[in-house]
Amino acid sequence: MGELRQFKLPDVGEGLTEGEILQWLVAVGDTVTVNQPLCEVETAKAAVELPSPWAGTVTALLHDAGATVDVGSPIITIDIGGSAPAPDGDGAGAEVQAGLIGGAAPGGRTAVLVGYGPRTTEARRRPRRAVHAHPAPAQLPGADYGSGGTDHPPLLTTAPDATTKPVRHGGLEVGRQAEAHALAEDAATALVARPGQGRPRPLAKPPVRKLAKDLGVDLAALTGSGAGGVITRADVEAAAGRVTAAEPVPVPQPLAPVAAGEVQRIPIKGVRKHTAAAMVASAFTAPHVTEFLTIDVTRMMKLRTRLAARPEFAGVKVSPLLFVAKALLLAVRRHPMVNSSWDEAAQEIVVHGQVNLGIAAATPRGLVVPNVKDADRLSLAELAGALAELTETARAGRTAPADMTGGTITITNVGVFGVDTGTPILNPGESAILAFGAVREMPWVHKGKVRPRQVTQLALSFDHRIIDGELGSRFLADVGALLADPGTALAF
């Protein structure tokens, strides 16, 4: 009889205790390969795919889709071959080697993914380069790839030495195991055969896959126009018989009408549960102060039109949010105390030397706040690409847990919903959050005359333990000045 092994639900974040199985990507009887996605799991921070640590045959799915499972509980049984005895009566399979998925990790925790726990080899990032030939499917992981492509250099020019960092793959951090198959490039450039299918899996990033699903487009029938044959958003939209002029605003699915006299109960779990706890903790821990500023952004909107026509912004959405983000980053340079945190345990204010810019994003699963690391060191074109990639990945529900930690200051764009302004709650661990309202044509006194101008409102909430009224006011005024007259940036 074959050797049976059970894969236990790993902690795919930092200290998570449970996760909901959204869907199974394999069925009983399927043959799986190393690193092939087994299921999609939603945690308190994100939805992620869990790769298989072994090659073999699925013999049992221990939980149904929709079930909430504790971290460390077995979720699937795989027959990896060999001559080991069958599992005993309680369903426990063979012991898992420390350091592999489901195995023991330091501190008594369960190893998260391939490579967590004790390592037998040094993890190295492979250099980004164009792929001219596809490796054999048996050598490739079956997970969806995250952001980026092989033809793009790293967005962050200040990225640490990549040779000492774990490989980023499929939104999850994975190391290299001596017994694992070689990992492919960390962009969507590989063809992977799915069990039970006679054709290879098409190349596409998660946001493009979601778009294809929403439009009813079969990716396998398309020929990708991107580098290495990757299917792009334009390919999917063309196949659907329409091309969108702008990114649609995500609209949550409304609840079905509730009959008179009845009530509907919705379980609080996943992202919404985590967000609720974080907002309550923030609202009742940090003393919030909110200030408002109304500004004329006509010059900014004209500059937006000119920049969108420049070659370095080709294929990138030049949105008003981009200018707000850049103005905030420049203002932080002048007022570094705004980019700080309150350390209650140490009784210290921690002023951060880099700006990890969070962008609040509405997703079907709830509010998430992924952040752009070292955003203050990016050019305007690089920042535009990073913001577009961040929001697309968030809306597709593929944001990696690591991308939602370490934020230092946040922007929430309520204007995209047609809202003028609000009083935002601080993202926990940060001292300031800026709300950006809708840009509207309004009567405005300009050069002594009332004229129609493009006007918007800003709202800055800050932690009054760190930022006093003067500092908050000066910071907000600088952001407003940069948006009203982008040429002011030359003086910063």
pLDDT digit string (tens) for 62-83? 999 888 888 889 999 999 885 4
Of the candidates 407, 420, 439, 229, the one whose C-alpha atom is nearest the C-alpha of residue 322 is: 439
Residue 305 has pLDDT above 70, yes or no: yes
- In this prediction, residue 201 carries a pLDDT of 62
On average, the pLDDT of the chain sits at 75
Residue 21 token pair: 């199985």
Distance, in Å, from the CA atom of 263 to the CA atom of 446, rounded to the nearest integer, reads 54
Residue 450 lies in a domain: yes
CATH number at residue 279: 3.30.559.10
The residues assigned a catalytic role are: 464
- In this prediction, residue 356 carries a pLDDT of 96
Residue 68 lies in a domain: no
Distance, in Å, from the CA atom of 61 to the CA atom of 78, rounded to the nearest integer, reads 9
Of the candidates 153, 234, 225, 137, the one whose C-alpha atom is nearest the C-alpha of residue 186 is: 153
Q: For residue 160, how many C-alpha atoms fall within 13 Å in the half-sphere facing its CB?
A: 6
Residue 144 lies in a domain: no
Structurally, how many domains does the chain consist of? 1
Distance, in Å, from the CA atom of 139 to the CA atom of 184, rounded to the nearest integer, reads 8
Distance, in Å, from the CA atom of 477 to the CA atom of 471, rounded to the nearest integer, reads 10
Residue 456 has pLDDT above 90, yes or no: yes
SS3 2: coil
- State mean pLDDT over 269-290: 78
Instruction: Please count the other Cβ atoms lying within 10 Å of the Cβ belonging to residue 5.
Output: 26
SS3 341: strand
- In this prediction, residue 115 carries a pLDDT of 33
What is the radius of gyration, based on Cα positions, of the chain? 24
Residue 153 has pLDDT above 80, yes or no: no
Residue 243 lies in a domain: no
Percentages (nearest 5) of helix, strand, coil residues in the chain: 25, 25, 50
The answer to whether 291 touches 460, Cβ cutoff 8 Å, is yes
- In this prediction, residue 318 carries a pLDDT of 93
Q: Is 367 exposed, middle or buried, given 0-12, 13-18 or 19+ CB atoms closer than 10 A?
A: middle
Residue 236 lies in a domain: no
Residue 133 has pLDDT above 60, yes or no: no
Q: Return the amino acid letter for 387.
A: L
- Counted residue by residue, the chain has a size of 492
* Residues 200-259: tens digit of each pLDDT: 567 777 667 767 776 778 777 788 887 777 788 778 877 776 433 334 444 455 566 877
Instruction: Please count the other Cβ atoms lying within 10 Å of the Cβ belonging to residue 152.
Output: 13
Q: Is 287 exposed, middle or buried, given 0-12, 13-18 or 19+ CB atoms closer than 10 A?
A: exposed
- In this prediction, residue 328 carries a pLDDT of 97
Residue 259 lies in a domain: no
* Residues 87-99: tens digit of each pLDDT: 444 444 444 444 4
* Residues 307-361: tens digit of each pLDDT: 999 998 888 889 999 999 999 999 999 999 999 999 988 999 999 999 999 999 8
Q: Return the amino acid letter for 62.
A: L
| Residue ranges making up the domain that contains 317 | 272-491
- State mean pLDDT over 361-384: 89
- In this prediction, residue 20 carries a pLDDT of 84
Residue 324 lies in a domain: yes
Q: Which residue has the higher pLDDT, 450 or 170?
A: 450
Residue 148 lies in a domain: no
Q: In sequence order, which residues have a C-beta less than 8 Å from that of residue 114 and are 6 or more positions away?
A: 34, 35, 51, 53, 100, 101, 174, 175, 177, 180
Distance, in Å, from the CA atom of 338 to the CA atom of 356, rounded to the nearest integer, reads 13
Q: Phi first, then psi: give them for residue 129, nearest 5 degrees.
A: -160, 160
